[in-house]
Amino acid sequence: QVRLVESGGGLVQPGGSLRLSCAASGSTFTINAMGWFRQAPGSEREFVAAISWTGGLISYADSVKGRFTISRDNAENTVYLQMNSLKPEDTAVYYCAARRNSMSTMKYEYDYWGQGTQVTVSS
């Protein structure tokens, strides 16, 4: 079993930045990929970014390309999401997820989920 704990959310003005962290514990040796997803009120949970645990493969949603950066620290079993140039439409609960198989952009293919952290972009 893998436990994921997100942190770093908060309130930020448009154009600002935040860095989210996701710390994994438990059977982390089973993880092959991790991802970030987000869910705004009344909307489906959507893919934001994903990274393979060892190969450095990375994927981003078109809506965040050039603004968000996903990275990992294998020694700390932590994945980060650096979010720059934030927009009001980025407001959502952000979830970290882990997968035992190869990197995926599909939420249904992830095995473990964190509890989520709220990001609010507003002036």
pLDDT tens-digit profile of 103-114? 999 999 999 999
Tell whether the model's pLDDT for residue 77 goes beyond 80: yes
The set of residues, in sequence order, having a beta carbon less than 8 Å from that of 59 and lying 6+ positions away, is 49, 50, 51, 103, 105
Q: Is the pLDDT of residue 58 over 70?
A: yes
- Phi, psi at 11, each rounded to 5°: -100, 130
pLDDT in tens, 2-57: 999 999 999 999 999 999 999 999 999 999 999 999 999 999 999 999 999 886 79
Per-residue model confidence (pLDDT) at position 55 = 63
